[in-house]
Amino acid sequence: MSETKVEETKLEFKAEVKQLLDILVHSLYTHKEIFLRELISNASDAMDKLKFESNKGTEIADSGLELEININIDKDKKIIKISDTGIGMTHDEIISNIGTIAKSGTSEFLKVMAQSKEDASNIIGRFGIGFYSVFMVAKEVVIKTKSFKKNEPAMKWVSDGLGSYTISELGEEVKRGTTIEVHLKDDMDEFLEKYRLDSVVKKHSSFITFPIKVENEQVNTVSALWREPKSNIKPEQYTEFYKFLTYDQDEPLTTIHRSVDAPIQFTSLLFIPKRNMDMFGYNREDFGLDLYVRRVLIQHQNKDLLPEYLSFVKGVVDSEDLPLNISRETLQENVIFSKISSSVTTQVLAHLTTMAEKEEDKFNAFWKEHGKTFKMGYMDYTNQEKFSKLLRFNTSQSKDINELFSLDQYIERMKKDQKEIYYLAGSSREAVTLDPHLEIFKSKGIEVLFLYDPMDEFVMEALRKYKDFDIKSAEQADIKKLGKLEDVETEKKEKAEELSKDDKKQFSSLMKRMKDILGDRVMDVKESDRLKGSPIVLVNPDDGMTSTMQKIMNITGKMSTVPPKIMEVNKDHKLIRNLIKVFKQNDKDEYLTTVVEQLYESSLLLEGFLYDPHKLVNRVNSLLENSSEWYTDVKNLK
């Protein structure tokens, strides 16, 4: 197997790498060919890194070597060799890069595999662990590599992918770079055919920017698509490039291709995927744009070209003006870089704005998939107006959960003297629709934005204003001001009979009694102006937080009690009218206590603050028992 055994050491793969290999070696895959894409992509990365070092002025071994990838077939021995002239690896680098040190991608990949039916070969590339896919087709892999660093010996790495590998000095003269020898499994003969390898390279690696030669014949056309004039590019080429870049199997939702000449010269080719790629929320690091300087890759997945709320955008940015020897560490402080970055952000927002105007369905599709990420943009103060314009809401005017409106549409429909934009949060459309706080808005015909995601309220509180209008929670609306507005015809119900003078007094005393029953659990009990259909509602004091905010505080452990609230009572509700009767008869009647406790706890339940439902359930049961007696009496049942 080996000609020299100088310092050969045997090392075990890290436990989770073993698990990964176990999956790859023993499962059946539909796309085994992707191993070649992964090896070519590693080879190309290694040459990008070499260019980068050389631009920095680093001294390089074998500096005259052409940068290219060579693929050769040995039919007799059933071996494919993939060679590059990239940076190579030293002894320590092999150990840390391949197999021994855990990479976050490995465990993320394993989690996704455990949870989904995805074919591993379809997604492995996205997790930065592509090298191991070679074990889908290989019974043994030999890596021969020589670092670009002078005076480092060439190394040899051998493994059958079953749990361990050996590493030793190669002991023969080789030039800088890496050769991966793939000793094919017995049933993998298809990969010994040149035409098969040609077609795999064409299909998966056509956008690699170095020549790829199979048996000495170049297969790809080396060109940077983003540098071509837009008019020369066919839609299929964009799609192919997108698939190459992202590993997505679907076409992109939309493509943005721009060349900017002044004040800074750069080209961007950006895509928004149809689906949110962070399928399970594990691969948090998988975002960012590839940054090139005059076609040389400076950084893969740069995280600062776009703000995080636009992290769903994929693509490349190629600058004419940045220095080639720029270090990644100082990029962020570079003035040209930050100008490019703000310009790219503007490009994306402008594109989305046009899409919202001209391709509503597409925009809605974007919103459904990426809206959650996009909403984080409330912190981008420079672009706040553009950002807010792109927000979409389900509202009280929507015919169902799917109909969304913009803030501009809301403003167009505002009532004559309405000065504020109102929102109400809840867990679902049903929950918000039944919220007593909504009643006055219904009767006045004022539209309310419905918020279902706890995030949304942070967004609204941070924005505070849109154009000339304050954004306000319906819970904190000024009820007196709203009360002055006209009722909507259709909502007009029969007015309840006025209370007599005496009953009014009794009602005041009843409210005092209610406060006695509830004690410190409520701050006050007051007559309500906002209720139409419900007997009571719990409201927050004027300067208090909204209910959702309180719940978030509870979840995050900052509060664990029920926040103090004011109970508002609807004196025109049938139940309250009956309670007045009971109260007049006997102000200490037990029934009063039961009903008041029940009303209070039902409200807590609606607002999500009822931590122990036992008392409530027992009480409801005994009320049901009583009412069943009354019912059988009325119906005269025996």
Measured in whole angstroms, how far is the alpha carbon of residue 221 from the centre of its chain?
Answer: 35
Is the torsion defined by CA of 580, 581, 586, 591 positive or negative? Answer: negative
Name which position in 17, 36, 40, 43 contacts ligand ADP (CB under 6 A): 43
101-114 burial: b if 16+ Cβ within 10 Å, else e: eebebbbbbbebbe
Calpha distance 607→558 (Å, rounded): 18
* Residue 80 host element (H or E): strand 79-84
Contact between 52 and ligand ADP by CB under 6 A: the answer reads no
- Of 83 and 347, which has the nearer Cβ to ligand ADP? 83
Applying CB under 6 A, the span of 57-65, 86-94, 183-191, 489-497 interacting with ligand ADP comes to: 86-94
- Binding range to ligand ADP, per CB under 6 A, among 35-43, 114-122, 313-321, 384-392: 35-43
Q: Which of residues 351-410 bind ligand ADP (CB under 6 A)?
A: none
Of the ranges 37-45, 63-71, 327-335, 479-487, which one interacts with ligand ADP (CB under 6 A)? 37-45
**Whole-angstrom distance, CA of residue 314 vs CA of residue 277:** 10
Nearer to ligand ADP, 89 or 298 (CB): 89
Closer CB to ligand ADP, 24 or 89, in the complex: 89
Query: What gap in Å lies between CA 278 and CA 312, rounded to an integer?
Result: 9
Rounded to the nearest whole angstrom, what is the least distance from the CB of residue 129 to ligand ADP in the complex?
5
Beta carbon nearer to ligand ADP, 89 or 313: 89
Nearest alpha-carbon partner for 620 in 600, 594, 638: 594
Q: What is the Cα–Cα distance from 112 to 106, expressed in whole angstroms?
A: 10
The residue within the footprint of ligand ADP, chosen from 70, 130, 393, 404 (CB under 6 A), is 130
42 binds ligand ADP (CB under 6 A): yes
Residue 84 sits in the site that holds ligand ADP (CB under 6 A): yes
User: Applying CB under 6 A, which part among 83-91, 109-117, 234-242, 610-618 lies near ligand ADP?
Assistant: 83-91
Using rule CB under 6 A, residue 23 touches ligand ADP? no
**Is 273 one of the binding residues for ligand ADP (CB under 6 A)?**
no
How many whole angstroms separate alpha carbon 426 and alpha carbon 460? 14
Stretch that binds ligand ADP, among 126-134, 480-488, 510-518, 539-547 (CB under 6 A): 126-134
Report residue 502 as tokens. 């005496």
Q: Where are the alpha helices (H) located in 422-557, listed in sequence order? A: 429-434, 439-444, 454-463, 479-483, 501-518, 547-555
Residue 129 as a binder of ligand ADP (CB under 6 A): the answer is yes
Stretch 152-191: interaction string toward ligand ADP, x if CB under 6 A: --------------------------x-------------
86 in contact with ligand ADP (CB under 6 A):
yes
Q: How far apart are CA 135 and CA 185, in angstroms?
A: 9
Longest dimension (CA), the chain: 110
CB 555 within 8 A of CB 598: no
Contact yes or no for 319/340 (Cβ under 8 A): yes
Answer yes or no whether residue 98 interacts with ligand ADP by CB under 6 A.
yes
- The structure tokens listed for 494 are 């029969």
Q: Does 212 bind ligand ADP (CB under 6 A)?
A: no
Rounded least distance, CB 131 to ligand ADP, Å: 3
205 binds ligand ADP (CB under 6 A): no
Question: Number of residues in contact with ligand ADP, rule: CB under 6 A?
Answer: 17
CB 70 within 8 A of CB 80: no
Task: In angstroms, give the least distance from the CB of 455 to ligand ADP.
Answer: 32
DSSP class of 444: H
Of 21, 87, 289, 474, the one binding ligand ADP (CB under 6 A) is 87
Q: Which C-beta is closer to ligand ADP: that of 146 or that of 472?
A: 146
Q: How far is the CB of 469 from ligand ADP (least distance, A)?
A: 49
Contacting residues for 87 by C-beta, under 8 A, at least 6 apart: 46, 47, 49, 50, 53, 147, 148, 176
Query: Rule CB under 6 A: is residue 17 a binding residue for ligand ADP?
Result: no
Site of interaction with ligand ADP (CB under 6 A) = 38, 42-43, 45-46, 84, 86-89, 97-98, 128-131, 178
